[in-house]
Amino acid sequence: MSKAKKVIFVIVEGPTDEYALSSVLKQIFSSAEVHFHVIHGDITTEDAITANNAKSYVAKRIAAEMKKYAYKESDILQIVHLIDTDGAFIPDNLVKARKEKGVQYFEDHIETGEVKYIQERNQKKSSVVASLCSTGKMKSSIPYSIYYFSRNMEHVLHNVETELTDDQKVALADAFADRYEENPMDFVAFIESEEVAVPGGYTQTWTFIREGTNSLNRHSNLRILFEQENLKGTD
């Protein structure tokens, strides 16, 4: 009887994240089961989450998904949490007012008709992410790590900075999956390239993205996922 595969549990914000990354991650980690849990939003800015309860809040969401799929704690090899930075780590004075509704992102500032709301969103996201970055395990023993796309996944993977419709996001995700599904190591080479990769260890990459306007620009620390020793036997 074959041994059951260990599970790499991947938390993402939206369905297009799964569309884009599912096939390539399943190819790269082919000896593990890669399970995607789609939050349908940004868990780091949900009303009920705070810096103080961030670990327990995310752990409860994971536990509910594990129960749904009958996963035991011993089944989970790694929890991988992927987020967009959304420029959340910039100084408050770089969130500037405009007459139009909505939010527009630039390389060195954000413009919005709701300055106070965006400042408060950024402050909350920053504090919650800082808490999650220091969380090495979920539940009692499952390794947990959080990685970012800055400013968002489409910015990193496609160098698209404009706001996109859902249909446009789906089209880009499908094109990305088609490009890398048969050549997954090309994706690893891209995510490790100077074009997007932040150098240094896990802590250093999070220090970098919190500095200045870095969280508005095109960066990712996802390369570290492919360097983790506990996952090397799954590729």
What is the DSSP track for the chain?
Answer: -PPPPPEEEEEESSHHHHHHHHHHHHHHTTTSEEEEEE-SS-GGG-TT--TTTHHHHHHHHHHHHHHHTT--GGGEEEEEEEEE-TTTTS-GGGEEE-SSSSEEE-SS-EEES-HHHHHHHHHHHHHHHHHHHT--EETTTEEEEEEEEES-HHHHHH---S---HHHHHHHHHHHHHHHSS-HHHHHHHHTSTTTBPPS-HHHHHHHHTSTTGGGSSEE-GGGGGG-GGGGGG-
- pTM to 2 decimals? 0.94
pLDDT digits (tens, 9 = 90+) for 87-141: 999 999 999 999 988 899 999 999 999 999 999 999 999 999 999 999 999 988 9
pLDDT at 195: 96
**Regarding predicted confidence, which is higher, 41 or 4?**
41
Q: What mean pLDDT, rounded, does the chain reach?
A: 93
pLDDT at 233: 57
pLDDT at 161: 87
